[in-house]
């Protein structure tokens, strides 16, 4: 890869300045790497005020000056649509990185789509939410060719505490879907325990405080009333349910019957508002 930036670092293009994408992009800019940004709504670019960056009016313009393009967008359809536009400007040897959560099959499809243009692809979903993104302690799960992953790892390290290469295209997405499924299954278990405690007259708020400190502690517990609050829980519950649908589709495409895991995860996702309600009487 030939660095585009005068700093000697590969130039990073960024698309997706939402809840996680914005602090991730800022972290990259603060490392001194040239940051190029485009947004469907130009006002979104105002979030980058205070860090060095170059704004672009068009995707093709951004692609033409980027060695690595990171996508932090909502759906696989968005990723495929944007990649199609990026390929009009990307040079051979450049890399498209999908940091969003999606299907492993889409990662494979995207890899094939970009290969004809000599463009590499990584699926690199992240875990930790906005707080971890702001504190540069995300976990990044990478699928794709190891040499390409190693080339991009310094960029990922800008916003990650842990960067793990899992295997070929789609492996990062599989790891993220398993991560999300287990989180939601743990939420279902917490809801059951809290429900039993309430029947016995035990204060669920105090009980959860104890569980967070004891051997029962988990990320699902520690997120309660920190990242998962009465203000955010409805949105997060909906996002989790969609993630479980992705999980179920991925398992189905692989010929695996994971109906019991899907059902348990959906129970945790859909029961989250009620659980948070018990902890905020």
Please check whether residue 67 lies inside any domain of the structure.
yes
pLDDT band at 156 (very low <50, low <70, confident <90, very high): very high
The two three-digit tokens of residue 281, written as one number: 């009487």
The two three-digit tokens of residue 84, written as one number: 């199609």
Residues 6+ apart with CB under 8 A from 126: 20, 24, 99, 133, 138, 139, 140, 141, 159, 160, 176
Pairing relationship of beta strands 126-127 and 138-143 according to DSSP bridges:
antiparallel
Q: For residues 251 and 128, state if they share a domain.
A: no
pLDDT band at 281 (very low <50, low <70, confident <90, very high): confident
Report pLDDT for 2: 38
CA 108 to chain centre: 18
- Domain count across the chain: 2
Q: Which domain holds residue 255?
A: 174-278
Q: For residues 139 and 180, state if they share a domain.
A: no
With tokens 């179920």, the residue in question is: 248
Using CA atoms, how far residue 21 sits from 100, 113, 124, in Å, is 9, 24, 13
Query: Which among 121, 143, 168 is the end of a domain?
Result: 168
Report pLDDT for 32: 95
Q: What is the CA radius of gyration of the chain?
A: 20
State the CATH number of the domain containing residue 133: 3.40.50.720
Residue 4 clears pLDDT 60, i.e. is over it: no
State the CATH number of the domain containing residue 216: 1.10.1040
Spatial distance between the Cα atoms of 27 and 128, rounded to a whole number of angstroms:
15
Spatial distance between the Cα atoms of 154 and 244, rounded to a whole number of angstroms:
31
Residue 8 clears pLDDT 90, i.e. is over it: no
Please check whether residue 252 lies inside any domain of the structure.
yes
Residue ranges in the chain assigned as alpha helix (H): 21-30, 59-64, 76-86, 104-115, 129-134, 146-156, 171-199, 204-213, 219-222, 233-253, 259-278
> pLDDT tens, 53-69?
999 999 999 999 999 99
Residue 5 clears pLDDT 60, i.e. is over it: no
DSSP for 196-221, written as a single string: HHHHTT--HHHHHHHHHHSTT--HHH
Q: Which of 3-12, 147-156, 173-182, 203-212 has the lowest mean pLDDT?
A: 3-12
Contact 37, 53 (CB under 8 A): yes
Spatial distance between the Cα atoms of 177 and 58, rounded to a whole number of angstroms:
32
Residue 125 clears pLDDT 60, i.e. is over it: yes
Query: Which among 142, 168, 194 is the end of a domain?
Result: 168
Instruction: Kindly report the pTM of this predicted structure.
Output: 0.93
Contact 177, 243 (CB under 8 A): yes
Q: For residues 152 and 257, state if they share a domain.
A: no
DSSP 224: B
């Amino acid at each position: 890869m030939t660095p585009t930036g005068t700093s000697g670092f590969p130039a990073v293009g960024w698309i997706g300045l939402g809840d996680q994408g914005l602090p991730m992009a800022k972290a990259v800019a603060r490392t001194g790497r040239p940051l190029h940004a485009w947004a469907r709504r130009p006002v979104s670019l105002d979030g980058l005020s205070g860090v060095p960056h170059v704004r672009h009016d068009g995707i093709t313009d951004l692609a033409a000056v980027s060695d690595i393009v990171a996508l932090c967008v909502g759906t696989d359809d968005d990723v495929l649509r944007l990649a199609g536009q990026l390929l009009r400007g990307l040079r051979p040897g450049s890399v498209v990185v999908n940091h969003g959560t999606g299907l492993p099959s889409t990662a494979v499809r995207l890899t094939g789509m970009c290969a004809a243009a000599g463009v590499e692809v990584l699926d690199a979903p992240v875990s930790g939410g906005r707080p971890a993104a702001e504190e540069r302690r995300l976990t990044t799960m990478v699928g794709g060719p190891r040499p390409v992953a190693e080339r991009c790892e310094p960029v990922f390290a800008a916003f990650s505490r842990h960067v793990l290469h899992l295997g070929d295209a789609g492996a990062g997405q599989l790891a993220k879907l398993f991560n999300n499924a287990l989180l939601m299954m743990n939420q279902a278990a917490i809801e059951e325990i809290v429900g039993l405690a309430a029947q016995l007259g035990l204060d669920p708020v105090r009980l959860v405080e104890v569980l967070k400190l004891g051997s029962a502690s988990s990320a699902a517990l520690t997120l309660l009333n920190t990242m998962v609050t009465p203000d955010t829980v409805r949105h997060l519950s909906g996002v989790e349910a969609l993630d479980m649908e992705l999980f179920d589709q991925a398992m189905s495409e692989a010929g695996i019957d994971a109906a019991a895991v899907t059902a348990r995860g959906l129970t945790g996702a859909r029961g989250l508002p009620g659980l948070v309600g018990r902890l905020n009487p």
